[in-house]
A and B are shown apart, each in its own frame.
Chain A
Amino acid sequence: MVEAGTSEKGDVKVTIEPANEREIVIKSKLERIYGNAIRNTVEELTSGITAKIVVEDMGALDWVLRARMESALRKFRGEEQ
């Protein structure tokens, strides 16, 4: 399992763990306001990846989410940090 981000307000924590099926879990206090937007970004960045992806959003802006996703995906692929 790999992890990126924090649980600080305004940030987002992303964890990715290997799984046989692709599964995306999104938890956000702003689910009602930005749930769709968060889901779209996560789908876009992880398309074709078979893993369990958990996104715990603390009100992060989209570019913060994208940066945390990229970091988590690189770790997941075993790339140098």
Chain B
Amino acid sequence: MVKNAVGREVPSEINGQRFKPFAGVGKTLPEGRRAGSLVRMAPRGRSKVLNSLEEAIRKVGLEDGMTVSFHHHLRNGDYVVNMVMETIRKMGIKNIRVFPTALFPVHKPLVPMLTDGTIRRIEGSMNGPLGEATSYGAMRETAVLRSHSGRVRAVETGEVKIDVAFIAAPTADPYGNLNGVDGPSACGPLAYGMVDAYHADHTVAITDHLVSYPAHPISIYQHMIDYVVPVEKIGDPAGIMSGTLRITTSPSRLKIARYALEIIDRVALRDGFSFQAGAGGISLAVTKFLGDLMKKRGIKASFINGGVTKYVVDMLHEGLVDVVFDGQAFDLDAVRSLKEDMNHIETPLAMYGNPHSSGGIVNMLDVGVLGATEVDVDFNVNVNTHSDGLLLHGIGGHQEVAAGSALTIVTVPLYRYRVPVIRESVTTVTTPGEVIDVVVTERGIAINPKRDDILEAMRGSKVPIYDIQDLQKKAERICGKPQEPDVEDEIIAAIMWRDGTVIDVVRKVKKH
């Protein structure tokens, strides 16, 4: 174990693979060449359409110990992960490494597979039951969590080799052209699955909407897809889409959004500026208020990077923004706009923010507004574990947006119910404080001391400004001092910084 740049003890070996400790943002440089996939061919006249998943798994030669990957555009409505893993289990294939972009509560059927020998480990986000089971020690090997584009980097460098990518496709043609904007399980972009399609040794598309050749538009191209398996349903639209997303109505959350808006206005708002949008309640409010303010000022944004929702689409249609970059669609308005609007562009996750590439979209962001489970007095952010130590969330694009944006704002309540959000030390470090510029709570804001320019810009503002230590003390005075998580020494998960270094670990939680 070595101490890394945020003071956390981390191992130099995880699952038999060597990893460097986090050394600071931008301090670990890329090495080597990009990895490739198996070279293969599809002779003229050979059909790619197969009758069953079992046939596909047999054809690609999936064996014990191999790695299978999935994307999470179908989110909590996804049927494909369970369908594929259940087939693998029934076929008696063991010791699989599952490499999803993210798993959700709907993937609870994988929990028993952690202990019956089917799955040896999961490398990816685990939202809910799988994370909880892992926290209590159900997974044989150590989980590895990466950010959206950190995962892309891991695939591109060969840190993770995908044997078979199973790609849920809301629309597919018989020769493997795929998109996510049509069909009963439409989800919008297929951005998360693109790197898997490029780099896996074998690729299987699973669809419930097989259209005649050629499907269009095309998100993932035919020359990267080996087989197409039609099934009855790949997902439940109610879980794929978020329904009508509503702006928070909580007065304290709205206050947070207004404070954030004033910071953006004073520091970054100008014609041609850009920002990251999300689907959280506060984030939606900031997007909406920002749109109103831009209209009032008569200015226009160059682009919004999303997390696309109706609020972003409305801004596009009103001419308040030139281009929308889309890595994930949250509602049907976003899906429809991606299909119809030329300046609503689907972006591969490699383009979104791979730090070891020739530059991602996040490097062009002026403003990023992010959430957090916890923030500490060093501005470190935790989005992975709850304050009792349970691993319940993925990293998402948090690291990318925080590291990329010229102005990174974290919006959080001072406490949630009785749990303080601003703490002496976060339970797990997801994103280091050096890339967090301002923390905004309903009681006031704290500016990272290294950002004098923001402090200067806020001079004369009515927004209360505190030292982050003062916010922490306020939270503790209201909530009382929280108990430390009751954990054992055993490491159940590693949290990777986007450059492939280890920023923190998560330990096994004692069951009471």
Contacts and interface: CB of A to CB of B under 8 A. Distances in A.
Interface residues of B, number: 16
A10 B480 contact: no
B417 A62 contact: no
A9 interface: yes
Contact of A32 (B418, B481, B512): B512
A32 B388 CA distance: 6
B483 A61 contact: no
Contact of B482 (A34, A60, A62): A34
Contact of B387 (A9, A33, A60): A33
A60 B418 contact: yes
A37 interface: yes
A59 B387 CA distance: 13
Interface string B456-496: 00000000000000000000001111110110000000000
Nearest to A36: B483
A61 B475 CA distance: 11
A43 interface: no
Contact of B388 (A9, A33, A60, A61): A33
B483 A33 contact: yes
Contacts of B418: 30, 33-34, 59-62
A2 interface: no
A27 to B, nearest CB: 12
A4 interface: no
Given A32-B389, A59-B419, A61-B479, 18 more contacts: A9-B417, A31-B512, A32-B388, A32-B486, A33-B388, A33-B418, A33-B419, A34-B479, A34-B480, A35-B483, A58-B417, A59-B416, A59-B417, A59-B418, A61-B417, A61-B418, A61-B478, A62-B479
Return the 7 tightest CB-CB contacts between A and B, nearest first.
Answer: A59-B417, A32-B388, A33-B482, A59-B418, A37-B480, A10-B417, A33-B387
Interface of A: 9-10, 30-37, 58-62
24 contacts: A9-B417, A10-B417, A30-B417, A31-B512, A32-B389, A32-B485, A32-B486, A32-B512, A33-B387, A33-B418, A33-B482, A33-B483, A34-B418, A34-B479, A34-B483, A36-B483, A37-B480, A37-B481, A59-B416, A59-B418, A59-B419, A61-B418, A62-B418, A62-B479
Interface of B: 387-389, 416-419, 478-483, 485-486, 512
